[in-house]
Amino acid sequence: MLADTEFRCGFVAVIGRPNVGKSTLINALLGQKISIVTPKPQTTRHRILAVHSEPDSQIIFIDTPGLHRGSGKAMNRMMNRTAANALAEADVVLFVSEAGRWTREDQDVLQRLQSCNTPAIALLNKIDKVQPRERLLQALSDSSARHDFAEIMPISARKGDNLDRLLALLPEYLPLSPPLFPHDMLTDRSEIFRAAEVIREKLTLSLSQELPYGLTVQIEQYLRESKGIAINAIVWVERDSQKGIVVGKGGSLLKKIGRAARLELKAQLGQPVHLELWVKVKDNWADSEKELQSLGYDAH
């Protein structure tokens, strides 16, 4: 490793509207699944650090909830605060938007970005979907006109296009600093947190419409045993009527969700997993600051 006087290390905030591909991008950059991903907006609810270490640099990505319109419930306000706080601590910002598509929510995020002095790189994601290619040139031109970005780069998080170039570029924007995390550390989040997130991902993928926004997962027990890992988890919903939907007829849906989560956790952890799920009601938990804190949500 280089001497600390030559080593670069810092924080890279990844911001953008909901469902623009921020978590997919971070997973692709790290080459591993750090954050859960679903097609539904606002899947990411927490600030998650993802650490990419090289011999001469350490890039600490901050995955954030998508900045979205309207205060909504306490959880929505908390998610917006979490994303805004990431801007304040970043050395450089990756502003992710969709190539060839600009929305009012994109404009809202840009306005937040313009209120801080942090260097920003515009990433035009999903270029694999842009046809004809002339539309990409127009998107690059439009992006250049919107803000004085340090760089503008077309990428595809899903296909991996231009990600090596991005990783090579980022250390230039980081301060001279020794590494903040061990070289082999990938995230600041625990196995318990990641287990809860995997379960919530499978719930979100299996449930339609608005229900995923009214549920959260809490790990009650996480035990390493000789035969593997035993996990007991509670799926909290906001109303009695939601409980039956999550459980499904004769418990069928909950069994399907549990099996999908168990198989992914087994693959991630490299050992057998015994998973038990219960569904319980906590009235309007998503609109209570106190309940949010008790369930592990915060705005840091």
**Residues 23, 126 within the same domain:** yes
Structural domain boundaries enclosing 60: 8-173
CATH number of the domain to which 27 belongs? 3.40.50.300
**Residues 103, 206 within the same domain:** no
Give 132-148 pLDDT, tens digit per residue: 888 999 999 999 999 99
pLDDT at 1: 45
- Is 180 part of any domain? no
**Residues 164, 203 within the same domain:** no
pLDDT at 4: 54
**Domain closes at, from 110, 140, 173:** 173
**Residues 26, 156 within the same domain:** yes
pLDDT at 65: 85
- Is 80 part of any domain? yes
Number of domains in the chain: 2
pLDDT at 14: 96
- Is 118 part of any domain? yes
Would you report the helix, strand and coil content of the chain in percent, each value rounded to 5?
A: 40, 25, 35
CATH number of the domain to which 268 belongs? 3.30.300.20
Give 75-86 pLDDT, tens digit per residue: 888 888 888 888
CB-based contacts of 269-274 (< 8 A; 24+ apart in sequence): 269/191, 269/229, 271/228, 271/229, 272/227, 272/228, 272/229, 273/228, 273/229, 273/230, 273/231, 274/227, 274/228, 274/229, 274/230, 274/231
**Residues 112, 197 within the same domain:** no
**Residues 99, 221 within the same domain:** no
pLDDT at 86: 86
Regions of the chain where pLDDT drops below 50: 1
**Residues 118, 90 within the same domain:** yes
The residue type at 132: P
